[in-house]
Amino acid sequence: MSTIISLPDQSTARIPKVNFITKENGLLSWLLTGDHKRIAMLYLASITFFFAIGGALAGLIRLELLTPQSDLMATDTYNKVFTMHGVVMIFLFLVPSVPATLGNFLIPIMIGAKDLALPKINLLSWYLYVAGGIMVLYTMAAGGVDTGWTFTTPLSTHYLNTNVLSTGIAIFIAGFSSIFTGLNFIVTIHKMRAPGMTWFRLPLFVWSHYAASILMVLGTPVLAIALVLVILERTMGIGVFDAAKGGDPILFQHLFWFYSHPAVYIMILPGMGVISEVISTFSRKRVFGYTAVAFSSVAIAVFGFFVWEHHMFIMGVSTYSTLVFSLLTMLVAVPSAIKIFNWSFTLYKGSITFETPMLYAFGFMGLFTIGGLTGVFLGTTGTDIHLTETYFIVAHFHFVMVGGMLMAFLAGIHFWWPKMTGRMYPEKISQLAALITFIGFNFTFFPQFILGTLGMPRRYAAYPAEFQVLNVFSTAGATILGVGYLLPILYLTWSLRYGEIAGNNPWQATGLEWQIQSPPLTENFAEIPIVDHDAYDYDWLERKHVHEREVTSV
């Protein structure tokens, strides 16, 4: 198989002595760092930890669902397990995954800056994340919570005596971590671009992070106030969500989904940014319709705020308002379609190679297309009646979040691993892992579409026996998927020490991050670059190489 990997001569290659990792030593130098790259590494370690916890909980869920009866655990235990799975995966993994790790690491470098605009706020956001994480761990240790990650009132306010308060506080804190990350990105992208780095020379990765950041800044506080009101309702009984006192429990859902629908765009948009970078690099081509892809990100961010009620179509909201929200949902589906087609046509007349990040990107495109299209089923008012609150929605959500976001995250981690660590991951085994993940994923979640259509409700610890076969398929698939996720953790750790030296630009990619040493210097650039070319300009790269060769030969 032909490849574009170009590594330096391994016998003479060295990791640069001075880089952001070796600059200072000691735990304290990490814990008090202002360096966006180190904070990204801190984030990477902590979200991997929480991903492992969330993954283990997912394993328990699938094991329980192997049989129709609730025999592995009692129903309330099962309820706690899926609640904690949701809370951990969404608030502690998916929301910060790409932005806080890859975004943190790359955005300043991609725009030619030395750091994010507000390094201290960046560090603060990591500490808030950790504080939120510790609260979640405390919640689990104290016996968990069983509200479901959606905290539906009045169940969460009056009918449960599990640790709703600590979970609410945890999410509140983690939410502020996400607000600070988003705020930092927006400021950085506006104010810190290198000379010549105009808006339309920005890599699409930066565009999609910009769009996601808008959602983080404007959406998250509404979740925060919804949680504050839940906490006040529980502690004081102010009645805002209490039907007995004249409150409307549906109001909570309005406030909750005002954040939590845009939140799925917060999760998926950065992933889309990764895919743009990967597909361009491995087909050696400028992204087809750069402006369309850039603006579709912003369109998703804007329209994302107008569609939240599609989570509530059957909940007794006004039938007339469902029309508006359903129509707007259709509009927000279009930018995603635009992106998929533009990525497909980026391949056209390219020169394509199939390294691991590209395989993950292909996986993303396939799974995200399914996830997106099934989203239209749920955004259409008529079919939503039958499909909502069943396994269809579970499958849809996991296709977008796990099939989409997690694939993109893994694509990005593999793609920038050489930049972050200076070493390559092992190519063959990682391609295998990508394949295993893809197969395992489909085995796990595709049967759930059929289960949902058949009517199996979500969040059931026990279910009618006729659904067992498909559930067994799903659980079997989950074990394959588990292997697919375990492998990267193992071989990436291995490669930290034994991986091949990557050199500055193993992929021959055009981004500014590839023109500096790997791992980068603490200040990223020895001198601030002056940008004189568009993103994904492979001719420029070619000219640069020719120029460099001339210089060396002289």
Partner 1 sequence: MEQQVDATGFAMWLFLLTEIMFFGGLFTAYLIYRNWYYPAFVAGSHQLSILWGTLNTGVLITSSFTMAMGVWCAETRRKGGLVLCLVLTFLLGLVFLGIKTIEYSEKIEKHHVPGFHYSLKSFTDPNSDEAAKTAGDKPLPLDMARHTEMYFGLYFAMTGMHALHMIIGIAILAFMIVRAQAGAYTTGHITFVENFGLYWHFVDIVWIFLFPLLYLISRHG
Partner 2 sequence: MSAPHQTHGHTQTENGNEHGEHLHIVPPRIYIIVGTTLLIFTAITVWASYLELGVFNPVIALFIACLKATIVVLFFMHVKYSSKLTKLTVGAGLFTFLTLIAMTLADYFTRAWGRW
Partner 3 sequence: MDHISQVLWQFLIKWLTNFSLYPPEASKIAPQMDALYFFMVLVSLIGMTIVILLVAGFSILYSKKRHPVAVQIEGSTLLEATWTIIPLGLFLIMFVWGALVYFRVYTPPANAMNIYVVGKQWMWKAEHPGGQHEINALHIPTGRPIQLTIISQDVFHSFSIPAFRVKREAIPGRYTSVWFEATKTGTYHLFCTQYCGTNHSAMIGEIVVLTPDDYKKWLADSTSGMSLAQNGERLFASLSCAACHNGRADSRGPSLAGVFGTRLPLANGQSALADEAYLREAILNPSEHVTQGYSPIMPTYQGQISEDGVISLVEYIKNLHSNDRVEQTLNTTTLLPEGEGKAASASAAAGPTSAKQGMVKQ
Kindly state the smallest distance separating residue 190's Cβ from partner 1, in Å. 6
196 binds partner 1 (CB under 8 A): no
318 binds partner 3 (CB under 8 A): no
Q: Residue 175 or residue 499: which is nearer to partner 1 going by CB? A: 175
> Residue 257: phi, psi to the nearest 5?
-75, -20
Could you tell me which of 423, 491, 489, 411 has the C-alpha nearest to residue 5? 423
Gap between the Cα atoms of 171 and 156, Å rounded: 14
Gap between the Cα atoms of 77 and 116, Å rounded: 43
Q: Residue 229 or residue 509: which is nearer to partner 1 going by CB? A: 229
Residue 384 site contact among partner 1, partner 2, partner 3, none (CB < 5 to 8 Å, cut-off depends on kind): partner 3
Name every residue whose Cβ is closer than 8 Å to that of residue 88 and which is 6 or more positions away in sequence.
Answer: 50, 53, 54, 57, 136
Could you tell me which of 93, 534, 41, 22 has the C-alpha nearest to residue 270? 93
Kindly state the smallest distance separating residue 113's Cβ from partner 2, in Å. 10
> Residue 436: phi, psi to the nearest 5?
-60, -45
Of 49, 127, 306, 491, the one binding partner 2 by CB under 8 A: 306
248 binds partner 1 (CB under 8 A): yes
Token representation of residue 537: 């300009």
Of 254, 386, 459, 533, the one binding partner 1 by CB under 8 A: 254
Kindly state the smallest distance separating residue 457's Cβ from partner 1, in Å. 30
The interface with partner 1 within residues 197-226 (CB under 8 A) comprises 217-222, 224-226
Gap between the Cα atoms of 12 and 267, Å rounded: 41
Residue 341 site contact among partner 3, partner 2, partner 1, none (CB < 5 to 8 Å, cut-off depends on kind): partner 3
256 binds partner 2 (CB under 8 A): no
Kindly state the smallest distance separating residue 498's Cβ from partner 3, in Å. 28
Kindly state the smallest distance separating residue 507's Cβ from partner 1, in Å. 31
385 binds partner 3 (CB under 8 A): yes
Q: Are 128 and 110 in contact (CB under 8 A)?
A: no
Cα atoms in the Cβ-side hemisphere of radius 13 Å centred on 178: 35
Q: Name the one residue in this structure whose structure tokens are 């379609």.
A: 337
Q: Residue 248 or residue 537: which is nearer to partner 1 going by CB? A: 248
The interface with partner 1 within residues 104-163 (CB under 8 A) comprises 117-118, 121
Number of Cβ atoms within 10 Å of the Cβ of 260: 21
Give the x/- contact pattern for partner 3 in 326-345, rule: CB under 8 A. Answer: xx--xx-xx--xx-xxx-xx
- Cis peptide leading into residue 68 (ω within 30°): no
* Binding piece for partner 2, criterion CB under 8 A, among 131-139, 319-327, 330-338, 494-502: 319-327
Name every residue whose Cβ is closer than 8 Å to that of residue 381 and which is 6 or more positions away in sequence.
Answer: 313, 322, 323, 326
311 binds partner 2 (CB under 8 A): no
Name every residue whose Cβ is closer than 8 Å to that of residue 526 and which is 6 or more positions away in sequence.
Answer: none
Could you tell me which of 535, 520, 540, 538 has the C-alpha nearest to residue 108? 520
Gap between the Cα atoms of 203 and 261, Å rounded: 26
Of 14, 17, 26, 246, the one binding partner 1 by CB under 8 A: 246
Gap between the Cα atoms of 377 and 384, Å rounded: 6
Of 176, 397, 417, 463, the one binding partner 3 by CB under 8 A: 463
186 binds partner 1 (CB under 8 A): yes
Gap between the Cα atoms of 123 and 43, Å rounded: 10
240 binds partner 1 (CB under 8 A): yes
284 binds partner 3 (CB under 8 A): yes
161 binds partner 3 (CB under 8 A): no
* Binding piece for partner 2, criterion CB under 8 A, among 62-70, 98-106, 320-328, 487-495: 320-328
Could you tell me which of 342, 341, 340, 313 has the C-alpha nearest to residue 329? 313
Of 186, 347, 429, 439, the one binding partner 2 by CB under 8 A: 186
528 binds partner 1 (CB under 8 A): no
305 binds partner 2 (CB under 8 A): yes
6 binds partner 3 (CB under 8 A): no
Could you tell me which of 507, 470, 485 has the C-alpha nearest to residue 440? 485
Q: Residue 325 or residue 438: which is nearer to partner 2 going by CB? A: 325
Q: Are 55 and 406 in contact (CB under 8 A)?
A: no
Kindly state the smallest distance separating residue 169's Cβ from partner 3, in Å. 22
> Residue 261: phi, psi to the nearest 5?
-75, -55
Which residues form the interface with partner 2 (CB under 8 A)?
Answer: 186, 190-195, 197-200, 210, 214, 218, 222, 250-251, 254-255, 258, 298, 301-302, 305-306, 309, 317-321, 324-325
Which residues form the interface with partner 1 (CB under 8 A)?
Answer: 117-118, 121, 179, 183-184, 186-188, 190-192, 217-222, 224-226, 228-229, 232, 235-240, 245-248, 251, 254-255, 258
